[in-house]
């Protein structure tokens, strides 16, 4: 059985790690390279970096950050934010990223998923989907959750898989930063309807929430930010408890 992955997420703004609630009210959480190094040593399975700042220098700044992280860590890491072309991905992979994450650009130009998968292989391509419930239906949102669309979460996830994505990073905007647990019903449905790995994101507040995401949500990986950044949960404690619950993890 494949081991379940624990993935700290670092939202990057102007070169610093930040964290908010429901995608707003950001506060500083530290230097991303130092955090990456600490998480790599603490037993994280992977890392995700999402550049949420909209500077014109983004690609150059991000490439420099990726290179500095790659020099420090020995675990896979995914980079996302503002990626809209084969060239963008090329720069990041050349500087040491293992995977890239696309979100808004994939919705605006779904063919991008096909192009990236064909060029770099599906194992390199993560599609991030931010969604929230509107009138009982999960609707995809863009630009860091600011722009609602009429796209249904499950329809879009299936299309993403068909176009060659290697995995999906699903963030429930309703749960993000609340520490009330992951959106396990939606996660379970995604896991049942798709054949690629699903990463759970949004809502981690305690160790039991991770247990629930793997058992009830059937997730392949679970991602969190503030509970790790502010040392509310230690990764080794989390993995011990997962193992106690017969959830396969790498220790």
- Rounded CA-CA distance 197/219 in Å is 7
- The pLDDT value recorded for residue 244 is 98
Interval 37-55: pLDDT, tens:
999 999 999 999 988 765 4
Q: Residues 114, 136: contact at Cβ < 8 Å?
A: no
Task: Tell me if residue 212 is catalytic.
Answer: no
| Residues ≥6 apart with Cβ < 8 Å to 83 | 89, 92, 100, 101, 102, 105
Per-position b or e across 236-246, b if 16+ CB within 10 A of its CB: eebbebbeeee
Strand partners, 127: 102, 168
Interacting residues of 7 by C-beta distance below 8 A, sequence separation 6+: 44, 45, 46, 47, 48, 199, 221, 222, 223, 224
Kindly name the residue from 130, 176, 212, 220 that is annotated as catalytic. Answer: 130
- pLDDT band with cut points at 50, 70 and 90 for residue 56: very low
In this prediction, residue 19 carries a pLDDT of 64
Q: Which helix (H) or strand (E) holds 115?
A: helix 111-120
Q: How far apart are the first and last CA of the chain?
A: 15
130 is catalytic: yes
Active-site entry in 11, 51, 88, 220: 11
Average pLDDT over residues 25-37: 80
- Per-residue pLDDT at 20: 58
Cα 89 → chain centroid: 16
- The rounded distance, in Å, linking the Cα atoms of 200 and 42 is 20
User: Cα-flanking dihedrals φ and ψ of residue 207, to 5°?
Assistant: -65, -35
Residue 61 predicted with pLDDT over 70: no
pLDDT of 169: 98
Higher pLDDT, 19 or 91: 91
Q: Say what the pLDDT of residue 55 is.
A: 44
Q: Please name which of 133, 134, 132, 144 lies closest in space to residue 105, comparing C-alpha atoms.
A: 144
CATH code of 5-244, in short, is: 3.20.20.70
pLDDT tens-digit profile of 64-90? 899 999 999 999 999 998 899 999 999
């Amino acid at each position: 059985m494949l081991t379940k992955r624990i993935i700290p997420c670092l939202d990057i703004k102007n070169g610093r790690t930040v964290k908010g609630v429901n995608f707003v009210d950001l506060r500083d959480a530290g230097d991303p390279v130092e955090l990456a190094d600490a998480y790599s040593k603490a037993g994280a399975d992977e890392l995700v970096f999402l550049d949420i700042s909209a500077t014109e220098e983004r690609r150059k700044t991000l490439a420099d950050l990726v290179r500095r992280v790659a020099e420090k860590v020995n675990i896979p890491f995914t980079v996302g934010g503002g990626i809209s072309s084969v060239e963008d991905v090329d720069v990041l992979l050349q500087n040491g990223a293992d995977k890239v994450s696309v979100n808004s650009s994939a919705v605006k130009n779904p063919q991008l998923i096909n192009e990236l998968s064909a060029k770099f292989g599906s194992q390199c391509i993560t599609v991030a989907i931010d969604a929230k419930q509107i009138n009982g239906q999960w609707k995809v949102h863009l630009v860091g959750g600011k722009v609602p669309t009429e796209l249904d979460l499950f329809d879009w996830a299936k299309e993403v898989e068909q176009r060659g994505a290697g995995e999906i990073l699903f963030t429930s905007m309703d749960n993000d930063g609340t520490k009330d647990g992951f959106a396990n019903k939606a996660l379970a449905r995604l896991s049942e309807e798709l054949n690629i790995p699903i990463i759970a994101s949004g809502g981690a507040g305690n160790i039991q929430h991770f247990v629930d995401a793997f058992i009830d949500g059937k997730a392949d990986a679970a991602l969190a930010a503030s509970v790790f950044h502010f040392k509310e949960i230690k990764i080794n404690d989390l993995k011990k408890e997962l193992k106690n619950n017969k959830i396969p993890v790498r220790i």
